[in-house]
Chains A and B, each alone.
Chain A
Amino acid sequence: MWDSLIVQPIINLLLVFYKFLGRETIVAVALVTLIIRLALSPLMVRQQKTASKQKELKPKLDKLQEKYKDDREKLAQAQMELYQKEGLNPMGGCLSIFIQLPLMIGLYQAIIRALAATPLRLLALSEDIYTWIPSLSTLIPLKSQFLWLDLALPDPYYVLPLLVVATAWYYQGLIAPPATDAQTEAMNKQMKLMLPLMTGFFAATYASGLAVYFLISNLVGILQYFLFRRHYLHEEEETSSAA
């Protein structure tokens, strides 16, 4: 089920791109990443919306905190009511992680299986290729070398992992929700450090094809952030001027 719904479609998409884009695996991986990121754009917009709404609600939340400072239950209830009234789901931002994670694992598996570094993997690949797409088998084995990289193996010089950490750190800084108190700020700082280090660890430990995915994913995310942010600022300005 997992294979037929997630991994095999990605493998075959990789093969089709590989076939038509100069038989460069890195280009095929980059394009698949781009498509996945674009497909996740609506979630990104939602995440941005949640973040900006949370910022708008800060004064009201502060008032509630002041009002119910001695009753945590009532405070929680009042906050929930406020969120409901404003049509905000505070956990909405997590949805993108829930959806992105299976795709990330699927893409990683697809890269490893498509590059098939060992005979057992190559043999298994024969089952993953769609026979109804003509001549995909003629592409096997895929070229795994790109500059100093073997995409099926980790980057020996850690260039890609470092780029992944840098872009992930910057991206995390952009998308973190606004800090409304000292503790949120501390958490933001923690996340800004933890997530880049974790993705950097993946990029350094696993196939460099995955590092390519992380890097392109981060770059597209940064670009999307600025595009959508501008869009929202514009929207906010329009709303306030209309008011």
Chain B
Amino acid sequence: MRHQRWQKKALWSIGLLLLAVVAMSGCARRGVRHESWPNLMVHEGVVYAANLETIVALEAETGDLLWSYPPEDTDEEMGPFYTQPVMVEPSEQYPNGLLIVAGFKDQRVYGLALDAEASEAPKEAWRFEGAGGQYVGNGTLADDRYIIGNGDGKVYALSVEDGAEQWSLQTEDRVWARPVAIENTVYVASLDHNLYAVDLQSGELAWERELDGAVAATPVVVDEALWVGDFTNRLSKINPTSGEILWQESYGDWLWATPLVEGTRLYFANVGGQVYVMDTESETMLWDEPVIIGEGEMVSSQPALNADGDLLFVAAYERGEIHAIDVEDGALLKWGSALENPGQLPGDLVTDGERLYTMPIHIQDRIRAFDLEDGSLIWSYPAAE
């Protein structure tokens, strides 16, 4: 009997440990496809999206697939992708343009030469494998350079011609914000709580400014000043020449989403789901109260405006809903209808004047296009069978 009890006890212990494996596996999502935080861009009627392990080009009007990269017969693993693809305009070397995209796990930047035939998949022109971490934040184009931050804490400036490294700048933590280039200076925000100003040509540091919190949002420029939000809920206005903080205010929760600039107006939201609009000239809020888009809801993506600039669209991350707000009075308006399976919306909203595009995660539909006027779903990719 005694040994039976002990045997029972042993089996219980092993069973519980196995349960722990299952519980922890669930948390770590090991063996489960890595869910990314994808972004897209629209260029001349084509949607380019880096999504999970592939890059796709779709007709913006219909959502029809033009091409998918890498080809199906390749064994090479790419991505998953977090970064927005960027388009280098046609040149002598790349007569149909060059698409640049950076991967997360594979830690590579790819330069893909587009084909003259829109439905033909691009060919790899170059790749950059010199970074030691994962790419999360978007890259930016400036003066024939592609500049992007990496998980190794460095910001890399690559030649768009051949992907060769021109310079790099080391920060103390991951760089998840898109670098911003203004004239001959690149501004880089890092999770190390600092904002850096770097010479575009040489990569030499001009100044650095310590902020209280980590910065994941891309700094924006309004009226010759930099505006940047951080994880201590603060929005800061910074002199781009000296790095001096000109103004600072707290807004209730982490400021992760990149603000949207329209004239002198700054639209921004915190992760607590509160949406604000500020007149940057007078540094005053235009709505009496922030608009709250839902109890316990989060906002992590840059909002978007319609073509007339009178409707602001904000994505609610958790419930995957898009909220339309009247920019004049902050009233929440009905726009579109509830989707059966909306997914979650971490990535930025993108518009092309006619449609609003989203990239939901944790669901089968990876890209959706909505009518900008009435919010109806026009198409989704992959198309439902």
Contact = CB atoms under 8 A, between A and B. Distances in A.
B254 A126 contact: yes
Interface stretch (A36-44, A156-164, A176-184, A220-228): A176-184
Interface string A97-109: 1100100110011
B3 A187 contact: yes
Contact of A141 (B136, B174, B233, B346): B174
Interface stretch (B53-61, B119-127, B211-219, B237-245): B211-219
A57 B10 CA distance: 21
A173 to B, nearest CB: 15
A123 B191 CA distance: 13
A76 B16 CA distance: 26
Q: Which of B1, B6, B23, B231 has most chain A Cβ within 10 Å?
A: B6
The prevalent SS among residues of B at the interface is loop
Interface string A104-141: 11001100100000111011001100000001011011
Contacts of A188: 6
A137 B346 contact: no
A141 to B, nearest CB: 5
A21 interface: no
A141 B215 CA distance: 10
B271 A190 contact: no
A123 B316 CA distance: 13
A190 B6 CA distance: 11
Given A112-B28, A123-B346, A206-B28, A137 B231 contact: yes
B213 A105 contact: no
A140 B214 contact: yes
Interface residues of B, number: 45
Contacts of B5: 90-91
A205 B212 CA distance: 35
Contact of B173 (A137, A141, A194): A141
A119 B136 contact: yes
Given A91-B9, A120-B346, A195-B13, A141 B191 contact: yes
A184 B174 contact: no
B174 A127 contact: no
A188 B10 CA distance: 9
A108 B300 CA distance: 26
Contacts of B13: 94, 97, 191, 195
Contacts of A94: 9, 12-13
A206 B24 contact: yes
B232 interface: yes
Given A93-B9, A180-B2, A206-B24, A101 B214 contact: no
Given A119-B136, A141-B173, A79 B232 contact: no
A198 B14 contact: yes
B182 interface: no
Contact of B1 (A79, A105, A127, A141): A79
A202 B213 contact: no
A126 B256 contact: yes
Task: Give the size range of A's interface with the partner.
Answer: 35 or more
A149 interface: no
A16 interface: no
A183 B3 CA distance: 6
B253 interface: yes
B37 interface: yes
A21 B184 CA distance: 42
B338 to A, nearest CB: 23
Nearest to B253: A126
Interface string B158-176: 0000000000000001101
A50 B19 CA distance: 26
B64 interface: no
B216 A105 contact: no
Given A90-B5, A94-B12, A123-B317, A140 B27 contact: no
Q: Which of A91, A94, A137, A207 has most chain B Cβ within 10 Å?
A: A137
B35 A138 contact: no
A4 B238 CA distance: 38
A216 B174 CA distance: 30
Contact of B271 (A72, A79, A126): A126
B1 A202 contact: no
Interface string B304-327: 000000000000010000000000
A219 interface: no
A126 B257 CA distance: 13
A49 B275 CA distance: 60
A212 to B, nearest CB: 15
Given A75-B1, A120-B346, A138 B6 contact: no
B97 to A, nearest CB: 28
Nearest to B174: A141
A195 B21 CA distance: 13
A182 to B, nearest CB: 9
A61 interface: yes
B82 interface: yes
Contacts of A198: 14, 17
14 contacts: A72-B1, A90-B2, A98-B16, A123-B271, A126-B271, A127-B298, A138-B232, A181-B3, A187-B7, A191-B10, A191-B13, A202-B20, A202-B21, A206-B24
Interface of A: 61, 72, 75-76, 79, 90-91, 93-94, 97-98, 101, 104-105, 108-109, 112, 118-120, 122-123, 126-127, 135, 137-138, 140-141, 177, 180-181, 183-184, 187-188, 190-191, 194-195, 198, 202, 205-207, 210
Closest 8 CB pairs of A and B: A183-B3, A126-B271, A184-B3, A126-B254, A198-B17, A105-B23, A187-B6, A119-B37
